[in-house]
Amino acid sequence: MALQDKYAELVSTAQAQGIANLQVRENEGVLYIDGEAPSTTAKDKVWEVYQKIDPDFRAGDAVVNISLAAGAEPASTEYVVKTGDSLSKIGKAFGKDWKEIYEANKDVIGSTPDLIQVGWTLKIPS
């Protein structure tokens, strides 16, 4: 029960993030936490709490296995357009094709992908 107390915040965060099929069990001094995250954001929040409890992941008293549910929303990174940027240049920096970035940002860019503006925040898909 001591491990469940130690990791109570982690379990409650998993519940709050909508982790499906959440299973928490203790076996031979190790707490196992399994489930499926509805998004990478939810999964990342669980891992942030785990890292707060065990910053170096060295305690060895918990195994967290949160997978991404099939069809879950992929994570994206935000990028603020700077002077001299183009979708090609941004794409190259993130290892993406400019078309992927354009498709993820049509609502911001509109129908002219070669006319991005300084200060726009673009989503860079994972």
Cα separation, 41 vs 37, in Å, equals: 9
Q: Please, which pLDDT band fits residue 77 given cuts at 50, 70 and 90?
A: confident
Q: What is the pLDDT of residue 73?
A: 63
Q: What is the pLDDT of residue 26?
A: 94
Beta bridge partners of 34: 23, 65
Q: What is the pLDDT of residue 1?
A: 59
Question: 40 or 30: whose pLDDT is higher?
Answer: 30
Q: Please, which pLDDT band fits residue 33 given cuts at 50, 70 and 90?
A: very high
Which pTM value belongs to this model? 0.58
Q: Tell me what the mean pLDDT of segment 107-116 comes to.
A: 91
User: Percent of the chain, pLDDT > 70?
Assistant: 96
- What domains are defined for the chain? 2-73 (3.30.460.10), 76-125 (3.10.350.10)
97-106: string of b/e by CB count within 10 Å (b at 16+)? Answer: ebeebbebbe
Q: Which two tokens stand for residue 65?
A: 């296995």
